Amino acid sequence: MLVFGYLGPIIRRKCPEGFVLTEWTRQRYGTAGMLFLSFLTLVTLFLYMVAELSAIGQVVSTLTGLDGLPVVIVQCVVTTIYTSLGGFKISFLTDVIQGGMVVGLIIIATITIGVKTEIKTELIDSSGLTKANLLGWQLLYILPVAVLTNDFFLSNFWLRTFSSKTDKDLRVGVTMAMVVILCVLTLVGCTGLIAAWSGAWPGDPPQAGSLAFFALLEQLPSWVVGIVLVMVVSLSTAAFDSLQSAMVSSASNDLFRNRLNIWYIRVFVVLVIVPVVVLALKAPSVLQIFLISDLVSSAAVPVLCLGLVPQFWFWRGFEFVVGTLGGILTVFIFGACYYGDAHRGARLILLEEGLYAQDWSVFGAFVAAPVGGLIWGFIALACRVGFQFAKARITGGRFDALDRPLDHVRPLSSDGEVVEETISTDAGKFF
């Protein structure tokens, strides 16, 4: 979350008219680079919508024993109606409600779990959760890389970043968010331990680890379960409407340059919800959905962010696209070499064996993606510069592949805060 407080002001100064990351990408890497990032962004939002509906369906089934499909359908209908009528402003309002729901959920869960849950000490050692393990050490690298890079693809975060009044407001906002999220994740994360040590998880029949928190709550009095269910549905609705708003904004701006009537875009999002619901009902693992998106973002974001470094003025959209695709290809190459099987190497891109493979495959994939992306990006740079140099020599034209774009700086003032706006006179180039 803190990265938006650091990179947000930099990107806003470079692209003051933007409101999503793809606007800066178009300015820096050209239309082709922007469309490539837009595709990755829309796919990420799609996967997040699938994960959100899959999660709420599983939670409803766990807490009530009922089919979660009716809840999923009602949620989609309700969010579609009020986001269509209220736009992104209504999403801001639901975020405030979401924050209150999170606090309420944590308070109620903390008190009732502390009072009603009994830890069975014999389960502590047998669970093995207090002992070091390979995956635990691997996650110290995997999770920061996965979450940090994937947040770049979430347009709902960039909409909030660009809409902040000043850089100070942005830094204060992300700092407050970081503190709250840290507390929430710590408390909710610990419930996994409590669920295992109280015997609530894995349960009978065994539940997925992602549902350990709700398996624990299921053991509490029915009135607590009822309150929690209402809060969880409200939380899911608030998150889902932000994803819908972000998809509308991204599609309208990136694909149609805001020239197409917004209602056509909203109809498109409504149509997208149909496959979202279908996939959510069939999704085997919420975690796997997130990990696929994380792996792609870890290949794309490092080569994308090199364009923010002033010393890399020569970095173009060609390097960004080739580097991203090369990073994904590197995961396949690593998997094929690691397993000695090309088919399993291809399956590693989709992480079909999950995070808990008990080997170095997932860790290696998250190393191969960013490192391979950078390597392929520099290979693409060498090929592009070599081609343009040869072309200039053959045709007698000017070799301008390494020319620095001309920038000028304009001072601005916002609520007493002096900032600078850097405006490039050279349009973004793909090649």
pLDDT of 26-74, one tens digit each?
Answer: 999 999 999 999 999 888 888 888 988 888 888 888 888 888 888 888 8
Average pLDDT over residues 10-18: 84
* More confidently predicted of 124 and 235: 124
Angstrom distance (rounded) from CA 379 to CA 245: 38
pLDDT of residue 280: 85
C-alpha triplet 371, 30, 322: angle, nearest 5°:
30
pTM, entire model? 0.83
Report the candidate in 237, 200, 230 with the shortest Cα–Cα distance to residue 104.
230
What do you get for the CA distance between the two ends of the chain, in Å?
Answer: 33
Q: Pairing state of beta strands 407-414 and 417-424? A: antiparallel
pLDDT of residue 208: 77
- Cβ pair 330, 371 in contact under 8 A: yes
Angstrom distance (rounded) from CA 126 to CA 100: 37
3-state secondary structure of 176: helix
Query: 25 pLDDT band (50/70/90 cuts)?
Result: very high
Instruction: Give tens-digit pLDDT for 72-129.
Output: 888 888 888 877 776 667 777 777 777 787 788 788 888 888 888 889 888 998 888 8
- Cβ pair 90, 83 in contact under 8 A: yes
User: How many beta carbons lie within 10 A of that of residue 183, not counting itself?
Assistant: 13
pLDDT of residue 371: 97
Q: What does each C-alpha distance from 348 to 322, 323, 324, 344, 357 come to in angstroms? A: 20, 19, 17, 6, 11
* More confidently predicted of 404 and 327: 327
Task: Kindly tell me if the per-residue pLDDT of 416 is higher than 50.
Answer: no
pLDDT of residue 284: 63
* More confidently predicted of 211 and 89: 211
Angstrom distance (rounded) from CA 259 to CA 332: 39
pLDDT of residue 336: 95
Task: Kindly tell me if the per-residue pLDDT of 418 is higher than 60.
Answer: no
pLDDT of residue 374: 97
pLDDT of residue 406: 63
Task: Kindly tell me if the per-residue pLDDT of 325 is higher than 90.
Answer: yes
Q: 21-64 and 2-14 are packed helices; what angle lies between their axes, rounded to 10 degrees? A: 150
User: How many beta carbons lie within 10 A of that of residue 89, not counting itself?
Assistant: 9
Q: Which of 16-25, 152-161, 249-258, 370-379 has the lowest mean pLDDT?
A: 249-258
Report the candidate in 116, 75, 120, 98 with the shortest Cα–Cα distance to residue 222.
116
Average pLDDT over residues 354-377: 92
What is the residue-averaged pLDDT of the chain? 85
Instruction: Give tens-digit pLDDT for 298-320.
Output: 999 999 999 999 889 899 999 99
pLDDT of residue 425: 44
Task: Kindly tell me if the per-residue pLDDT of 412 is higher than 70.
Answer: no
- Cβ pair 62, 218 in contact under 8 A: yes
Token output for 230: 């209402």
Task: Kindly tell me if the per-residue pLDDT of 414 is higher than 80.
Answer: no
pLDDT of residue 87: 66
Q: Is 343 exposed, middle or buried (0-12, 13-18, 19+ CB in 10 A)?
A: exposed
Query: 407 pLDDT band (50/70/90 cuts)?
Result: low
Token output for 361: 């495959």
pLDDT of residue 409: 47
Which range of 14-18, 173-177, 199-203 scores highest in mean pLDDT? It is 173-177
Token output for 368: 């191969």
Share of residues in the chain with pLDDT > 90 (%):
29
